[in-house]
Amino acid sequence: MNKQMALFLAHSAELETEAQERYEELAESMREHRNIPVADFFRRMVDEAGRHLEEVAELAADMTLPDLKAWEFDWPDAEAPETTSYEALHYRMSLRQAMQLALDNERAARAYYSDYADNCEDVETAEVARSFAAEESSHVAELERLMAEQPADHPHLWEEDDDPHMPE
Amino acid sequence: MMQAIPLKARDFKSDVKPIWCPGCGHFSVLNAITKAMAALGIDKDDTVLVSGIGCSSRLPAYVDSYGFHGVHGRGLAIAQGLKVARPDLTVLALGGDGDGFSIGGNHFIHACRRNVNMTYIAMDNEVYGMTKGQASPTTPMDWDHSKLTPHGPGVRPFKPAALALASGAPWIGRGYSGNPNQIAKLIAEAVEFPGFSFLHVMSQCITFCPEQTDWKAVVSEMDGPPLADADAAAKQFLHEDGFQTGLLYREERPTWPPVGETAVDETALASLAASFSV
Ligand SMILES: Cc1ncc(C[n+]2csc(CCOP(=O)(O)OP(=O)(O)O)c2C)c(N)n1
Ligand code: SF4
């Protein structure tokens, strides 16, 4: 068995699983807070990540992937590259801001796969990593197209009548 | 008890959907707990999460295990009682800085001193999130975002790690909500530690303290093994900036129930219950 490939696919599967589960969490919490357009967008991203996860699973069908714990994966940052970080979220965020987050995630995933391909000694694994990078590129292009169609954000987007800073 | 089919982190999430604000750091702790449970191969039926009151204290409802959403500040008292009565269970107590260091402060210091074999996770956002952003014991002196403390609380904030050390906690760790994988690792280590393990998590309140997103730029990871010398740890915990993460301190000392003693003394339990009957 190609050990390098198995390690790479374990990372790819985790990357897509983490992306999918975080989008799902965000879709649910945006729905709870009645931000339906953003909830629907994150739900769409759940399906996107799910499709890529299926492709990884297909490639790994005849392999035994290493069983790594959440903290044993080797990521360039604290979390897997396509996982939306908690810092930039707000229940009143616009669809445009949500798309920007997703775009940043796709770009991070593309950079991860292409760096992997550049630094991997196993030719077969490098080839798969490059094909994943190309796929992420197509997601980047699609999100850039969608964002170009979005109107600019209202300057006081996050303000509201019922300001949360209200203890008197 | 280990289960035959390994469960994944998501299998430990319940069907109840969190109502936390999107971006709340408590989501990260929830993710970390489920990842740690999956990694440890913990049996859901032998695990209990106990909390007090607060946004953070809602967490047990979101985990598919046994849970107890207790009274404000009393999660630790309930959890210790449970562990002493049922040493076979894995018991985790959790809550916020208001819950654990204000109204529950007395329970906190005595839990550190008693050293019951369980884990306590304090999800610290330096504010009372649930009641709309009042100052807590860990709020910076000059934090003036609440109309109740327009010039800041004006008193020095608690240093939870120093307080835990001075009260006798033998295991002290710190995590940050921007790094759920590190929190998961710390929780797994805390649960396996034979004694009272205190995990302090810097968990941002995006709604009342949006400036906490800046924590990402200042957190660091502790180099090397945890301190084992209380003098050195005291010096560090009193003078540090509070943003160093990792397992900070570890010391072995006798715990309750004694290591290896997990059987329930049914007779003692029955006679205790009988003594309360009217
Ligand atoms: C006995 C009692 N006193 C006061 C309250 C009101 N109260 C509810 S939650 C809370 C503080 C919560 O803050 P914290 O524990 O830091 O959790 P967070 O909401 O920030 O996660 C207070 C004072 C209460 N529920 N019960
Ligand atoms: S108020 Fe703060 S602590 Fe409560 S759910 Fe919202 S972000 Fe989290």
Could you report the predicted ipTM of this complex, rounded to two decimals? 0.93
Average pLDDT over all residues of chain A:
92
Q: Of A51-60, A91-100, B15-24, B250-259, which range is least confident?
A: B250-259
pLDDT (0 to 100) of residue A167? 45
Cα distance between the two ends of chain B: 37
Tell me which residue in A33, A79, A166 faces B22 most closely, judged by beta carbons: A33
Picking from A128, A26, A162, A3, the residue whose alpha carbon sits closest to that of residue A87 is: A26
Cα separations (Å) of B278 from B81, B267, B273, B274, B275?
A: 21, 19, 11, 9, 8
Model confidence band, residue B241 (pLDDT cutoffs 50, 70, 90): very high
- B233 inside domain: yes
Domain range enclosing B214: 18-275
What's the confidence (pLDDT) of residue A168? 42
Q: Under DSSP, is residue B227 helix (H, G, I), strand (E, B) or coil? A: strand
Q: Residues B134, B156: contact at Cβ < 8 Å?
A: no
Ligand 2 neighbours, Cβ below 6 Å, are B 20-21, 24, 26, 55, 125, 129-130, 205-208
B33 to chain A, any CB pair closer than 8 A? The answer is no
**CATH code where residue B224 lies:** 3.40.50.970
State the distance from the centre of ligand 1 to the C-alpha of B173, rounded, in angstroms. 24
Q: Is residue A17 part of a domain?
A: yes
pLDDT band at B1 (very low <50, low <70, confident <90, very high): very low
Calpha distance B247→A17 (Å, rounded): 27
In a domain, B264, yes or no: yes
Residue B106 has pLDDT above 70, yes or no: yes
Whole-number Å distance between alpha carbons of A63 and A82: 24
Residue B31 lies in a domain: yes
Q: Tell me which residue in A25, A26, A165 faces B145 most closely, judged by beta carbons.
A: A165
Judged by CB atoms closer than 8 Å, whether chains meet at B177 and A86 is answered as: yes
- Residue identified by tokens 């980047």 is A140
Which residue has the least CA distance to atom 2 on ligand 2? B205
pLDDT band with cut points at 50, 70 and 90 for residue B17:
very high
Q: Identify the domain containing residue A129 by its residue range.
A: 3-64+88-148
Which one-letter amino acid corresponds to residue A85?
S
Tell me if B147 sits within 8 A of A166, measured CB to CB: yes
The residue in chain A having the minimum alpha-carbon distance to the alpha carbon of residue B132 is A167
pLDDT of residue B6: 74
The tally of domains found in chain A comes to: 1
Alpha carbon distance A12, B273 (integer Å): 54
Low-confidence ranges of chain A (pLDDT < 70): 157-168
User: Domain total for chain B?
Assistant: 1
